Structure 1
Amino acid sequence: MKVAARREATPGNTASGPHRHAGAVAAAHLARSSRAARFAHRARRALVALATLGAASLACAANTEELTGTLKKIHDDGVVTLGVREASIPFSYFDGKQTVGYSQTIALQIVDEIRKTLGMPQLRVHEVTVTSSNRTPMLLNNQIDLECGSTTHTVERENAVAFSNSFFQYAVRMIVRKSSGISDFTDLAGKTVVTTASTSDERLLRRLNADRHLNLRITAARDHAEAFAALKEDRAVAFVMDEPIVYGFKSTDPRPGDFVVTGTPLGYEVYACMFRKGDEPLRKLVNGVIARGQISGDAERLYKQWFTQPIPPHGINLNFPLSEQNRALFAHPNDRALD
């Protein structure tokens, strides 16, 4: 009888005491199962996030471990050190507030690319002033990481350092006083001539002197500004240098009409960025920046900004139009020396 009563009560009396207890137990179990499921889901998400973060960290560590040469040095130091010039107008020069210029702009574009490559948006830039005489030793001694000023790429210099794609082609000429009557290099025979020490121009000038027996008295100044000062002070009758450099000095002088740029070119050369030999990752990065700028048309716009428009600090215009040689260079980026 008791068994039958329980059987009758089972289907229809679910609200009875024992069954209420069973339902509560079941509900509690379901609740615990739901909470456990939610916890497990959150745990899985957390584990996925940790795994993703771990993978990213491992990838970053792997990438860091893969860095070599200058890029590794820059990453570890947290700073990129640029060699800059004081008076290579309009390429790299101090305008009274900061270093500016055509090639300085290219250098800073390269720095931006280094920031992206290393994932270091806050990468600092440290500038070190260099001269024609000390720029190579400072690079080789790790005092600078990169120099994009007015350094000529020559075959001889390839023995010590490496060069990027060229960013400017020019002729080697001279600036003289208009009143001097000098129009070509043969007119310099027996006279004092100044150039800048440790430049390719000095080498060309000494070769000219020996080949043509001109008996020149050659003075090698510490930098371009000192060389031009020697001309202005009549300690030399001519300053032999890269054509755009002497145009820069002529244009920024208080009496530009007193001077003239003249002479059959001693040769044609190219400027490039300079860095340490055997640094293939940096070479690819730098060349990529220069080539993209040239092919895209940015290099020509940059040229116009610095050579055909007023430049700081006094708003002087060099009026030095883009040459066909530079136009051809921009169309076909390359890293060939011309000597």
Structure 2
Amino acid sequence: MPSRFLSSVRPAARAVCVTLCALAPLWVGAGPVLDRIQRTGTVVLAHRESSVPFSFLDQDRKPVGYSIDLCLKLVDALRKKLELKTLTPAFVMVTPANRIATVEEGKADLECGSTTNNAERREKVAFTVPHYITGARYLVRADSPVQVVRDFKGRKLVSTSGTTPLKAITRSNIDHLLGIRIVEAAEHARAVEMVETGEAEGFVMDDVLLYGLAAGRPDPDRLKVVGKFLTIEPLAIMLPKNDPQFKQLVDDEMKRLIRSGEAHAVYDRWFSQPIPPANKPLNLPMNYLLKDFWKYPTDQVPG
């Protein structure tokens, strides 16, 4: 506030003016997300129940995972940028079917899961820099003869509602007249159970999720991942579209985490070291797709 303006008003009015200026948000003109975060001192993080190792519940029903750790680093960066003494993360659990609506409707500020960034979803929400690049393959029982998608002809194949692999296999089934009986499960854990019990011949999903889900089962050796990539999936943390300043802060911090090596350390924690629930490592080194993408990290992805 210019000093000549303050000197032109009465002392009492000047005191009120100074007080109001001190209470004004640090980010003048901030959008709805940043404004709410500043007012409440809370960031709402959406998480999943069983997207191992990205976002899942541990034995104490606490949200943990690779995406959760990255989101918590983003929360700390927001606290520092907004000059807040404290910034508390509040968690809300979402499913594949409602995760996009939860962010779109402002019920979560960041979705810390395993969501694919694609053009259709970008009509409703925004995404930051991808933290994983994967592709859809098939989880089957260890004694299954299935090797490629055409081997499912006439068989039952499960996928999870509201996911890109479900759309991809449905399209492939129609285009190639495969006659696959496709069914939907509400969550990944249920789809794995269907394969184990013989209710379905296979489960089509991002292969990294399949490896994580299999590793968490009582007898992981009963399951295997097969087939070529049906899709290529850049997975990214999701956020609302309507706050470009919030997105800029998140994007800048994601790029810093990658360039500094902090994101690589978080990756190693969840893909190379023992993790819950079985306390076993996934032993999945970073693939060439993500290595190449992180050389020049950006939120821009094809498709």
Q: Residues 33-182 of structure 1: matches in 2 within 5 Å? A: 58=21, 61=24, 63=26, 65-97=28-60, 98-182=62-146
CA RMSD of superposed structures (Å): 1.9
Is 2:151 aligned against 1:200? no
- Aligned-partner Cα distance in 1 for 2:162–2:94: 12
Shift of residue 67, structure 1, vs aligned partner: 2.2
Q: Which runs of 4+ in 1 moved over 6 A?
A: 54-57
Aligned pair partner of 1:272 in 236, 254, 265:
236
SS in 2 for 1:66: coil
Structure-2 separation of matches of 1:209 and 1:314: 35
Quick one: structure 1 residues 332 and 186, their matched pair in 2 at CA, closer, same or farther if it must change by over 3 Å?
same
1:333 maps to amino acid: P
**Normalising to structure 2: TM-score of the pair?**
0.90
1:333–1:142 distance in 2 versus 1, CA, 3 Å: same
Residue 64 of structure 1: CA displacement? 5.2
Q: Distance in 1 between matches of 2:25 and 2:167?
A: 47
* Preserved contact between residue 89 and residue 249 of structure 1 (Cα < 8 Å): yes
Code of the residue aligned with 1:133 in structure 2: it is A
Inter-partner Cα distance in structure 1 for 2:280 and 2:239: 32
Q: Confirm or deny: 8 A CA contact 2:50 2:57 kept in the other structure.
A: yes
1:279 Cα deviation from its structure 2 partner: 1.5
CA offsets, 1:240-283, max 9 Å, x none? Answer: 00011000011121211111111010121111111111321111
Spell out, residue by residue over 1:172-231, the C-alpha distance to the aligned partner (whole angstroms, 9 max, x if none): 111111211101101001110000000011111111101111111111111111111111
Out of 284, 291, 294, the position equivalent to 1:327 is: 291
SS at match of 1:180: coil
Q: What CA distance in whole angstroms lies between the structure 1 residues aligned with 2:263 and 2:109?
A: 23
Q: d(CA) in 1 for partners of 2:112 and 2:83?
A: 23
Contact residue 195 and residue 202 of structure 1 kept, 8 A:
yes
| Aligned-partner Cα distance in 1 for 2:302–2:28 | 38
Equivalent residue letter for 1:171: G
- Unmatched 5+ residue regions in structure 2? 1-13
- Give the drift of 1:59: 5.3
* 3-state SS, counterpart of residue 220 of structure 1: strand
Residues 216/66 of structure 1: CA separation in 2 closer, same or farther (3 Å cut): same
- Contact 1:299/1:330, CA 8 A, preserved across alignment: no
Corresponding residue SS for 1:63 = coil
2:31, 2:242 within 8 Å by CA — same for their partners in 1?
no
d(CA) in 2 for partners of 1:118 and 1:60? 13
Instruction: State the distance in 2 between where 1:312 and 1:121 align.
Output: 32
Distance, in Å, in 2 between the alignment partners of 1:332 and 1:301 is 18
Partner of 1:219: 183
User: SS of the counterpart of 2:246?
Assistant: helix
What 5-or-longer segments of structure 1 have no aligned partner? 1-50
The partner residue of 2:281 within 303, 317, 337 is 317
Please say if residues 84 and 147 of structure 1, whose CA atoms lie closer than 8 Å, have aligned partners that are also in contact: yes
Larger radius of gyration: 1
Shift of 1:57: 6.9
Question: Secondary structure at 1:218's aligned position in 2?
Answer: strand
SS in 1 for 2:44: strand
The change in CA–CA distance for 1:250 and 1:62 in structure 2 (over 3 A counts) is: closer
Percent identity (aligned): 34
Aligned length: 288
Give SS of 2:274's match: coil
Residues 79 and 124 in structure 1, CA contact (< 8 A), matched pair in contact too: yes
Provide Cα deviations, 1:93-118, integer angstroms capped at 9, x if missing partner.
11122211111001101111121122
Separation in structure 2 between the aligned mates of residue 117 and residue 214 of structure 1, nearest angstrom = 53
Aligned residue for 1:321, secondary structure, equals coil
- Alignment check: 8 A CA contact 2:31 2:244 kept: no
Query: Which one-letter code corresponds to 1:312 in the other structure?
Result: P
The structure whose RCO (Cα within 8 Å, separation 6+) is larger is 2
